[in-house]
């Protein structure tokens, strides 16, 4: 007996080794590009991080004509020998200019590829380095969080994002439930309907947002025309809304577009859930004499709770990430910053103004919000969800 246990344990450990070999690529990639950055997001939020241009690998060295080089570079001109050397590396001389002039140190920029080169003088030699980015961090404690929380823009971003999420998530879900119910009843044509409802979800955000930008056009856009026609049908006057330039309509424009984009996807998940419900429940209910609506409320809805909560969590997390749409629709934070979202704030703070620490602090706040909401939903889910089996 003991022998047998020993053998089984040995097999278990062997299998453990094998399993981790199978998991190794995944663990390396996720560890390096998900877990490590995740930890760093917290670390960086306590630092003031700046970038510096530092010399990277040497491209070219020269010991001749050093004085000529220095004279030319100091005037912002480029020595011919240098442009020729860089041209061999595929840098067009027309794109090259001297971005920074210091004593014995010059930074050249290649507009074609956005690469930078650093020329350093060391006595009688000149070295041309490819520029690299160096990172300098100084610990600042909670200062980044204080700055973010005192920044009216961040407050605005929080409010805008919350309104966006608070409206679009429930609206999408309710509409998706209605559509799924309709699709579940349909006898024919389901594949066609499925195709049409699903398509918005997989099209590139940038492309489809461009289309909506055109639909939202104030004077010649389709939406205003359709709204005007419908209003006219009922004898109302309708003045065209300036969807993209009026602060009141910026968030509604985002909400309408993204409800449209995600409702089909959610409806399909709910439909799959509905079709997985055992027919017997319905038959039993019909025998008991329940009406259509009542059956839906008493059987379909409770048995769909796993899907509904799943959708709630992923759409909450997904909606807090809204960014691309803002950039493409408004080319900025929108009129009076009415479409400034948290991720937009993070993006501009980090990559436009270089406040990486501040952006990290804002990221941590974003994570905290999503984390708390998810936890809240999970605890509710534990109590309320009806699982079929």
Partner 1 sequence: MAVAGKEMEVAVHALRFLAWRAFLYVALVLTVAVMALPFYWMVTTSLKDVVQALRIPPVWIPNPVVWNNYPSAWGAAPFGLYFFNSFFIAVVTTFLDVITSIPAGYAFAKMNFWGKNVVFNLLLGTLMIPGQMLLVPSFVLINRLGWYNTYYALIVPWTAGVFGIFLLRQFFRTVPDEFWDSARIDGCSRFRYLFQIAVPQVRPGIATVALFKFVGSWNAFLWVIIMTDKVGLRTVPVGLRYFMLEVGTDYPRLMAAATMAIVPILILFLFAQKQFIQGIARTGLR
Residues 37-76 that bind partner 1 (CB under 8 A): 37-38, 40-41, 44, 49, 56
- Note whether 146 binds partner 1 by CB under 8 A: no
Residue 373, judged by CB atoms within 10 A of its CB (0-12, 13-18, 19+), counts as middle
Q: Which is nearer to partner 1, 170 or 354 (CB)?
A: 354
Query: At its nearest, how many Å lie between partner 1 and the CB of residue 119?
Result: 20
Query: At its nearest, how many Å lie between partner 1 and the CB of residue 148?
Result: 13
Q: Binder to partner 1 among 3, 4, 5, 12 (CB under 8 A)?
A: 12
Query: Do the Cβ atoms of 357 and 285 come closer than 8 Å?
Result: no
How many Å apart are CA 321 and CA 161, to the nearest integer?
9
Where in 173-212 is the site for partner 1 (CB under 8 A)? 179, 182-183, 185-187, 189, 191-200, 202-208, 210-212
- Half-sphere exposure of 24 toward its Cβ, with a 13 Å CA cutoff? 7
- Half-sphere exposure of 202 toward its Cβ, with a 13 Å CA cutoff? 6
Map tokens 């419900």 to a residue: 277
Query: At its nearest, how many Å lie between partner 1 and the CB of residue 214?
Result: 5
- Note whether 171 binds partner 1 by CB under 8 A: no
Say which residues have a Cβ less than 8 Å from residue 73's Cβ, sequence separation at least 6.
79, 98, 101, 106, 119
Q: Tell me, by CB under 8 A, how many residues bind partner 1.
A: 107
Q: DSSP state, 134? A: E
Query: At its nearest, how many Å lie between partner 1 and the CB of residue 3?
Result: 20
Query: At its nearest, how many Å lie between partner 1 and the CB of residue 170?
Result: 18
Query: Do the Cβ atoms of 118 and 42 come closer than 8 Å?
Result: no
Residues 70-109 as x/- pattern, contact with partner 1 by CB under 8 A: ----------------------------------------
Query: At its nearest, how many Å lie between partner 1 and the CB of residue 74?
Result: 28
Q: Binder to partner 1 among 276, 283, 336, 386 (CB under 8 A)?
A: 276
- Note whether 324 binds partner 1 by CB under 8 A: yes
DSSP 201-230: HHS-HHHHHHHHHHHT-TTT-HHHHHHHHH
Query: At its nearest, how many Å lie between partner 1 and the CB of residue 78?
Result: 21
Q: Which is nearer to partner 1, 174 or 210 (CB)?
A: 210
Q: Which is nearer to partner 1, 260 or 282 (CB)?
A: 260
Q: Phi, psi (5° rounding) for residue 149?
A: -70, -20
Residues 112-141 as x/- pattern, contact with partner 1 by CB under 8 A: xxxx----------------xx-x------
Q: Which is nearer to partner 1, 77 or 226 (CB)?
A: 226
Query: At its nearest, how many Å lie between partner 1 and the CB of residue 104?
Result: 26
Q: Which is nearer to partner 1, 153 or 324 (CB)?
A: 324
Q: Which is nearer to partner 1, 199 or 247 (CB)?
A: 199
Query: At its nearest, how many Å lie between partner 1 and the CB of residue 121?
Result: 25
Where in 222-241 is the site for partner 1 (CB under 8 A)? 222, 225
Query: Do the Cβ atoms of 337 and 156 come closer than 8 Å?
Result: yes
Buried b (16+ CB within 10 A) or exposed e, 135-153: eeeeebeebbbebbeeeee
Write out the two tokens for 263: 């409702």
Query: Do the Cβ atoms of 197 and 288 come closer than 8 Å?
Result: no
How many Å apart are CA 245 and CA 20, to the nearest integer?
55
Q: Binder to partner 1 among 160, 172, 300, 360 (CB under 8 A)?
A: 360
Q: How far is CA 219 from CA 91, 180, 244, in A?
A: 45, 35, 11
Map tokens 């160096």 to a residue: 134
Point out which span in 62-70, 77-85, 141-149, 324-332 binds partner 1 (CB under 8 A). Answer: 324-332
């Amino acid at each position: 007996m003991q022998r047998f246990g020993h053998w089984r344990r040995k097999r278990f450990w062997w299998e453990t080794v094998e399993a981790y070999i199978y998991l190794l690529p995944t663990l390396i990639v996720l560890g390096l590009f998900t877990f490590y950055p995740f930890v760093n997001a917290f670390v960086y939020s306590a630092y003031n991080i700046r970038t510096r241009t530092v010399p990277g690998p040497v491209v070219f060295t020269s010991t001749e004509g050093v004085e000529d080089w220095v004279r030319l570079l100091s005037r912002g001109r480029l020595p011919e020998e240098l442009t020729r050397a860089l041209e061999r590396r595929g840098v067009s001389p027309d794109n090259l200019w001297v971005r920074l002039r210091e004593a014995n140190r010059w930074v050249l920029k290649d507009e074609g590829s956005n690469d930078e080169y650093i020329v350093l003088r060391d006595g009688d030699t000149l070295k041309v380095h490819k520029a690299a980015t160096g990172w300098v961090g100084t610990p600042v404690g909670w200062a980044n969080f204080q700055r973010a929380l005192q920044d009216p823009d961040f407050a605005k971003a929080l409010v805008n994002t919350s309104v966006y999420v608070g409206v679009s998530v429930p609206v999408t879900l309710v509409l998706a439930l209605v559509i799924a119910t309709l699709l579940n009843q349909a006898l024919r044509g389901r594949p066609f309907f499925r195709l049409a409802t699903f398509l918005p979800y997989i099209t590139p955000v940038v492309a489809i947002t461009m289309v909506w930008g055109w639909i939202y056009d104030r004077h010649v856009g389709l939406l205003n025309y359709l709204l005007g026609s419908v209003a006219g049908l009922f004898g109302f006057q309708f003045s065209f809304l300036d969807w993209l330039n009026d602060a009141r309509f910026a968030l509604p424009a985002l909400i309408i577009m993204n409800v449209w984009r995600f409702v089909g996807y959610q409806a399909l998940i709910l439909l799959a859930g509905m079709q997985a419900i055992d027919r017997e429940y319905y038959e039993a209910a019909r025998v008991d004499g329940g009406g259509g609506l009542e059956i839906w409320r008493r059987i379909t809805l409770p048995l769909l709770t796993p899907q509904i909560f799943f959708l709630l969590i992923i759409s909450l997390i997904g909606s807090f990430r809204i960014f691309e749409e803002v950039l493409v629709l408004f080319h900025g934070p929108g009129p009076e910053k009415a479409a400034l979202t948290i991720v937009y704030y993070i993006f501009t703070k980090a990559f436009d103004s270089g406040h990486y620490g501040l952006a990290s602090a804002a990221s941590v706040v974003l994570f905290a919000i999503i984390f708390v909401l998810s936890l809240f939903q999970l605890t509710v889910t534990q109590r309320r969800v009806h699982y079929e089996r």
